[in-house]
Every structure is written in C-alpha cells, then in structure tokens.
Amino acid sequence: MQYALLVYAPPEETDRAARPIPETVAAQLDRPEVTGWARLHAAESATTVRSDDGVMLLTDGPFIDSKEYLAGLILIEAGNLDGALATARELLQPTRPGTAIEVRPVLDGRFRGA
C-alpha cells in the first residue's frame, strides 16, 4: 500500500534552492520502499489558485499560512501504518530540528518519472 509523507519544515535563513540535499537525506531517499519524492521550492515561491463563484482568484503564497511550510512530498510503499511510520521515523532522523512528517494513506493516483 502507498503512503504519502508530507514533510513540513520550520522556517530557514539560507536559500533552500542553493543548498544540495544533505547526503544523509539522499541516502534515505534511495531506499527501495521510496517510490517517488519531490522536494519543493520555498513557500514564498507558491501561488495559490482558487475559484470564488466561478471567478478564478490568484494569491501569492501558500494556501495554508503557517510558520512551518510544506517542504516536500515522499511516496513510500508499506504493508501497513506501522511500516509507514517506521520509514517516516527514519526519514525524519537526518532532517533539521522542528521538521515534522504527516503520514497519509494514498487513496489512488498515478506517478510518472520527473
């Protein structure tokens, strides 16, 4: 069964895009149970599209305005929630303090290589 791990990161000083993925994190992403992942640009790069009574509205910034921001998305394969939580725990290890991972079961979907 597929689970999506939504990685929320605390605010950071340095430019995210200029920083390579830390080796420890990269090693985790190479694990066989990781079926896909996406690292996202900083929240300031977000644009949100909404429909208000059929009128398209664009806003600058993420939909949910919070201190922590959605930093990435990792798809994993696991037998059950315990398996998914164990993988999430290991993926969390090398991340910055204050990072949190939301584990969500995938209902259905299709993923193509980036």
Residues in contact with other proteins by the rule CB under 8 A:
1, 79-82, 85, 103-105, 107
In the complex, what is the shortest distance from the CB of residue 78 to other proteins, in angstroms, rounded to a whole number? 8
CB-wise, 43 or 88, nearer to other proteins? 88
Are 90 and 28 spatial neighbours (Cβ–Cβ below 8 Å)? Answer: yes
The closest alpha carbon to 17, from 51, 52, 44, belongs to: 44
In the complex, what is the shortest distance from the CB of residue 1 to other proteins, in angstroms, rounded to a whole number? 6
Instruction: For residue 62, list its beta bridge partners.
Output: none
CB-wise, 57 or 100, nearer to other proteins? 100
CB-wise, 45 or 80, nearer to other proteins? 80
In the complex, what is the shortest distance from the CB of residue 37 to other proteins, in angstroms, rounded to a whole number? 20
CB-wise, 26 or 100, nearer to other proteins? 100
In the complex, what is the shortest distance from the CB of residue 42 to other proteins, in angstroms, rounded to a whole number? 30
Rounded to whole angstroms, the Cα distance separating 25 from 5 reads 14
User: How crowded is residue 69: how many other Cβ atoms within 10 Å of its Cβ?
Assistant: 21
55 CB-side CA count, 13 A: 4
